[in-house]
Structure 1
Amino acid sequence: MGSRNLRVAPVALSILASFMSAITLLGTATEMYVYGTQYLLIILSYCFVIPATAYLYMPIFYKLQVTSAYEYLELRFNHIIRTIGCLTFSVQMLIYMAIVLYAPALALSQVTGISVWTSVLSIGIVCTFYTSVGGIKAVVWTDVFQIFLMFSSMLLVAIKGAYSIGGFGYVFDLASKNQRVEFFNFNPDPTDRHTVWGLIIGCYFTWMSIYAVSQAMVQRYLTLPNLRGARRAIWFNLPGLSFLLIICALAGLVMYAKYYDCDPLLTKKVTSSDQLLPLYVMDILGLYPGIPGLFVSGIFSGALSTVSSGVNSLAAVTLEDVIKRHIKSDMSDRFATNLTKGLAMSYGFIAIILVIIAQKLGKRTAGSVVYFLESSEDPFWASSPLEYSSLLPTALVQASASLAR
């Protein structure tokens, strides 16, 4: 737990980095391009999640001074519930780590030329190494560096991209004319992609499961010496999360302003919407030295911060909830430290192996497995309605000229 004496600023930045993955950076920009700005209302859910976490959940964990969040389940219920909680978290986190490794690597590979396995192995091995050797302190301090790369890369893409096509005024005007600016959709229809109800109420419960009780987050709160410091750290996330999402949204709208009359998806220049932002960076900003490299480093940083958090939290819950609880309760601090390092290394390599399995299974089979495992943890996943929302219109006005070039 970092001796429970870390400082507020690095822990606050680490919390921010942990669940702002490469998928968030690529996905938010793509969401703005394809469906418009409605998704940004998720920021309002943070206004409820953060105070609820700070004043309802944090005091309990600080009073108990636990290492694993699932120790509370045994104190409140029994050891069986604690074990079930630990196992479901472990399965979910391993799947999530594999997705975070594979999805951005696949998107980058088909546009930038960086091979999938160069990305996967680089991210997986590097973060497994520094997490195993340095523990939570290494995770926190590398997160600080990585969050600055994430911010700077997306901010540069948004500003430079807007400047190259006429400024943000032109971008917003074009987005408004083409149905990309919408915020308050109060339609009660559950098949709508985004509504006020889903983005504020639904996402409140989604983010509470992460910020309030996730091992990766609880572990960070408890690295601070007191409850006051932990509250300050999480309150910092409200402007931090909001600013990062707004930057990603701006990048998506800038990307739309560039491609609105020649959609790369319709012209088959890319095969997936996840490849739109990497395509934009290489296609439009690739002539400017340093920008593509900064963008790739920002995407890699998003993956590194998330995977390192997962590896560290999995090692902690395995030690506390499985080994100490069921196998060997009395062990020296030195032995526990070495065992944690070994567990962290093992989980890092398991995540890489899961990527290999997912690639071998193919999209349909892998998707079915993920759906089954996720729904076993969260019944709302299994009972959620199918998505019937349609893509907002794009054009092919300039496609022939673009293809001719």
Structure 2
Amino acid sequence: MEVKNFAILDYVVFAALFVISSGIGVFFAIKERKKATSREFLVGGRQMSCGPVALSLTASFMSAVTILGAPSEVYRFGASFVLFFIAYTFVIIFTSELFLPVFYRSGITSTYEYLQLRFNKPVRYAATVIYIVQTILYTGVVVYAPALALNQVTGFDLWGSVYATGIVCTFYCTLGGLKAVVWTDAFQMVVMVVGYLTVLIQGSSHAGGLHNVFETATNGSRLHILDFDVDPLRRHTFWTISVGGTFTWLGIYGVNQSTIQRCISCKTEKHAKLALYFNLLGLWIILICAVFSGLIMYSHFRDCDPWTSGIISAPDQLMPYFVMEIFATMPGLPGLFVACAFSGTLSTVAASINALATVTFEDFVKSCFPRLSDKLSTWISKGLCLLFGVMCTSMAVAASLMGGVVQAALSIHGMCGGPMLGLFTLGIVFPFVNWKGAFGGLLTGITLSFWVAIGAFIYPAPDSKTRPLPLSTDQCILSNVTESFPQVLPNRPAIADAWYSVSYLYYSAVGCLGCIFAGMLISFITGRQDGKDIPPLLIRPVCNLFCFWSKKYTTLCWCGVQHDTATDQENLENDSAWKQGTESVLHNGLRQESLANVPGYDPKDKSYTNMALEKITHF
């Protein structure tokens, strides 16, 4: 393959991304130097507004893997990828209306802190360890995979980009904390959209306009979007994308520390919800850009597919190869696209480092040393950012040695996300589930999701389920590379063509539903949780979403939890004085006597301070 090298202007544009990102970290380090508390560093003092948080949320979950991989998906398998807009919509609705209110009102910093309040410490620590391992592994791949694709097509230095990404992310995370991460993400989101738009404009111009793009895509069967086949073995159908995609994204989005940490950093719950809904617009925009990029790319390569002809060695190289072709005579613009791709990487890595530091500090350090000073807590938080920055960069180095295991590593997020989603759903939606059910459900969900995913890796699905749409090489000068697709291996066990061939988008659903059903069954066997022992703020049964239910059914769904006090508590929480007082309680080491800081506190009627009391009990 002929490697087309960057011009000097491309390097200048790319370097500007890193300089500005680092500068934002320095700015917030100087600006916030007098607010030296771990709370300020990790959750921005809970004073963020919805705008930058919405941009940050979109950027954090639109990694370079998405920017390079999604157009390639559309190019090879068609525009059915656009159906993810349905999944994104359901994910945001469930997150904002079901999970967010519980997390925001409970005053937690780590999402896994909720699991201790609802169940116990072993459940919390098990979930935290799983999250840390999956995030480090995934982040390493997010850094390495796009760097490798760009290196092989553009000649961009592989290890230079890997180390630069790790160093810059660690630098601004450690200096500026969450505020630096959020505002840097907002800037990087703008870069991502501008990079995509330049590709769309120039690509459609090369194709002779959007009309020609759609005509070519139609002739190539790329616009066959609605496939209502219910076969779960089909890779992409309406059902696998809309249903399976909802489970997948809800597992890595709705209860993910990176998401919730940004939401609880907002000044009010209303701002947090607005951030999520504005973020939905961002997700739609990136999705539409990716789909159009894939269609334009197909129009450009309709007579000479660079993948099957051997010009490039992997589908992820399609997008950068396309960019280098259409911008061959326009120095600076290839650099802008690479900056677009690495903006996705930077935002994802920074979000991961910040979230890892938060859960480690809150779940382990603070639990072991509850009386740390503010200054020491801040330094420990910064040290954790530095530690995880080094670990994530090192994981990128390890990913280069993993060979075929990289594909398995990329699915780790979905494999772990489903059981995590099931665990939090058990705690929030089903008040009768006890800690034994939660722990057993988590183990069951993890076992099922890993079983099907690892089985699929060992025994790839038959070609008929995963083979791309037709790709032409009629006008290519073929390289000495033969077309390669997954082959049906001899002596395949019967389970391989059924269980192991399930669409990868159902991995999260398998883990989530397995966790929920096992958790409920174990709870019934071992004795249901007494609802009177659960603070109402930790529960949000589905009946909350249906106001037309009678009081009788509402009481039944709350399973003994004192739900009558929930409305009063919710109203009190929206009162700024109440919030400031309660935060003072938590800030002062959760001591019983500090409850006097809560306005209107009556020692004879403590119903509305259940959360603070619950924290005191557990800590």
TM above 0.5, yes or no, is yes
What is the CA distance between 1:229 and its match in structure 2?
A: 0.5
Distance 2:181 2:409 in 1: 30
Letter in 1 for 2:389: G
Which shows bigger deviation, 93-102 or 48-57?
Answer: 48-57
* 1:364 matches 2:399: no
Deviation at 1:371, TM superposition (A): 6.9
**Is this contact kept in 1: 2:311–2:479, CA < 8 A?**
no
Structure having the higher Rg: 2
Match of 2:125 in 1: 83
**Residue 201 (structure 1) shift:** 1.0
Greater Cα shift, 311-320 or 203-212: 203-212
CA deviations 1:218-266 (Å, max 9, x no partner) are 1000111111110110001222111111111111111111111011012
Question: Structure 2: how far apart are the matches of 1:2 and 1:391?
Answer: 46
Matches within 5 A, 1:3-402: 3-325=45-367, 327-360=368-401, 362-364=402-404, 375=415, 378=446, 379-383=448-452, 386-387=460-461, 388-400=465-477
CA distance in structure 2 between the aligned counterparts of 1:49 and 1:391, rounded to whole angstroms: 28
Q: How many Å apart are 1:367 and its aligned residue?
A: 5.4
8 Å CA contact 2:44, 2:179 repeated in 1: yes
How far did 1:286 drift?
Answer: 2.3
Deviations 1:74-100 (A, max 9, x none): 111110000011100101100111011
Q: Name the TM-score, length of structure 2 as normaliser.
A: 0.63
TM-superposition CA deviations, 1:192-224 (whole Å, max 9, x none): 110111111111111212332110011000111
Provide the rounded CA distance (Å) in 1 between the counterparts of 2:472 and 2:248: 35
2:236 is paired with a residue of what secondary structure? Answer: coil
Output one character per residue of 1:11-56: Cα deviation in whole Å (capped at 9) or x when no partner.
Answer: 1111111110000011111011111101110111122111111111
TM-superposed CA distance for 1:174, in Å, is 0.3
Q: 1:179 to 1:106 in 2, by over 3 A?
A: same
AA aligned opposite 2:162: V
Q: Specify the code of the residue in structure 1 equivalent to 2:98.
A: L
Tell me, in whole angstroms, the C-alpha distance in 1 between the residues paired with 2:196 and 2:116.
43
CA contact (8 A) 1:71 1:321 kept: yes
Kept in 1, the 8 Å contact 2:141–2:409? The answer is no
* Aligned residue identity for 2:452: S
Q: Distance in 1 between matches of 2:70 and 2:191?
A: 17
* Counterpart residue identity of residue 380, structure 1: S
Partner Cα distance (1:369, 1:161) in 2: 32
Q: Which moved more, 1:350-359 or 1:247-256?
A: 350-359
Segment of structure 1 superposing worse, 207-216 or 24-33:
207-216
Of stretches 327-336 and 216-225 in structure 1, the one that deviates more from structure 2 is 327-336
Residue 2 of structure 1 aligns with which residue?
44
314-323 or 288-297, which deviates more: 288-297
CA distance in 2, matches of 1:232, 1:367: 35
- Alignment-mate amino acid for residue 394 of structure 1: L
Per-residue CA deviations over 1:348-400 (Å, capped at 9, x if unaligned) read: 1111111222223x413555677789757643253256543211111122114
**Structure 1 residues 356, 59: CA separation in 2 closer, same or farther (over 3 Å shift)?**
same
Give the counterpart letter for 2:377 in structure 1. Answer: A
Identify the residue that residue 537 of structure 2 maps to in structure 1.
none
Query: Aligned partners of 2:478 and 2:68: how far apart in 1?
Result: 27
Distance 1:274 1:348 in 2: 25
User: Aligned partners of 2:110, 2:101: CA distance in 1, in Å?
Assistant: 15
Could you tell me how far apart the structure 2 residues matched to 1:369 and 1:219 are?
Answer: 24
What 5-or-longer segments of structure 2 have no aligned partner? 1-42, 420-445, 481-619
Instruction: Tell me the alpha carbon deviations over residues 300-349 of structure 1, each in whole angstroms, 9 at most, x when there is no partner.
Output: 10000000000000000000001111x21110111111111110111111
Aligned length: 401
- AA at the equivalent of 1:357: A
Is the Cα contact below 8 Å between 2:140 and 2:392 reproduced in 1?
Answer: yes
CA distance in 1, matches of 2:479, 2:299: 15
CA distance in 2, matches of 1:20, 1:395: 30
> Is the Cα–Cα contact under 8 Å of residues 265 and 272 in structure 1 kept in the other structure?
yes
Tell me the distance in 1 between the aligned counterparts of 2:310 and 2:81: 26
Q: Percent identity?
A: 40
User: Structure 1 375/229 Cα, relative in aligned 2: closer, same or farther at 3 Å?
Assistant: closer
2-structure distance, mates of 1:251, 1:2: 36
Paired residue secondary structure (1:399): coil
Alignment check: 8 A CA contact 1:191 1:389 kept: no
Give me the CA root mean square deviation: 1.9
Q: Structure 1 residues 226 and 158, CA, compared in 2 at 3 Å: closer, same or farther?
A: same
* Distance in structure 1 (CA, Å) of the matches to 2:72 and 2:45: 41
Maintained 8 Å contact 1:374/1:381: no
**Which stretches in structure 1 are left out of the alignment for 5+ residues?**
none
Q: Is the 8 A contact 1:123 1:304 kept in 2?
A: yes
Q: Which has the higher contact order (CA 8 A, sep 6+)?
A: 1
Deviation digits for residues 144-176 of structure 1 (CA, Å, limit 9, x no counterpart): 110000011011101111112201110010000
Distance 1:402 1:328, change over 3 A: closer
